[in-house]
Amino acid sequence: MPTRSAAHGRVNRVLLTDLITPLVLFYGLRWLGADQFLALAAGAALPLVRGVRDLAAHRRIGGVQLFVLLAMVLTVVTSLLSGSPRLLLVRGAWMTVALGLFLLGSVRARRPFLYEAGWLVFSDHQRRIWERNWELHPAFRRFLRLATALWAVAWMLDAVVLVVLATTLPVDDVPLLEGALFAVTFASCLAVQRFFGRAYLRRHGLRRDGVEIRPIATG
């Protein structure tokens, strides 16, 4: 079972490899005089290398990970053949589409993504409370499934917006806007989930007290 620190470490590594480092590489290389295609290709190579390394290390790969890896390979190869930097810019859309599909698929699974995400980052004591919430409160189970579906739709829309940005705006502007779009999508999902979750639970006579879900006191 992954520890809380290990889970946070994996998230931080993915953010560093897939979001922050490619952005720094692109603008650093552009500042040094590299052309747009070379600068974008250098950033695109990092997530690709990480995916291949993970595959070699674990000798197995999930369906979503395989989809992302193959889509990135296809995008990079097509871009190399065409020399088009805009094709490299849309690689992020493949990743968000894959994320959206994964989230959507988990809605009908035994446990939706948001339940599993909480399990990864909580302490052992919090996990026991989380599991008890799931077992005792049907409204909590429905909320986690609905919220997971909300995240799925949001990332699908994120991918559409990213494709529009990548195909219409100046190439040098898109990487920074892609990072901003990620931050806006993520923050918006958190805010809507918090507001909707509070209202949904209250409508079913429940409230959240930290990690624990409790009935609202009456009388």
Which pLDDT value is given to residue 179?
86
Which of 102, 14, 96, 100 lies closest to 64, judged by CA?
102
pTM for the model stands at 0.75
Which pLDDT value is given to residue 136?
93
Number of H helices, E strands in the chain: 10, 2
* Contact call for residues 122 and 184 (beta carbons, < 8 A): no
* Contact call for residues 71 and 94 (beta carbons, < 8 A): yes
Residue 65 DSSP SS3: helix
Parent domain of 196: 4-215
Which pLDDT value is given to residue 192?
92
Structural domain count, the chain: 1
CA dist 21 → 27, 30, 36, 98, 173 (Å): 10, 14, 16, 21, 16
Which pLDDT value is given to residue 80?
66
Which pLDDT value is given to residue 75?
61
Q: How far apart are the first and last CA of the chain?
A: 43
* Contact call for residues 166 and 89 (beta carbons, < 8 A): yes
Ranges under pLDDT 70 in the chain? 1-19, 44-83, 218-219
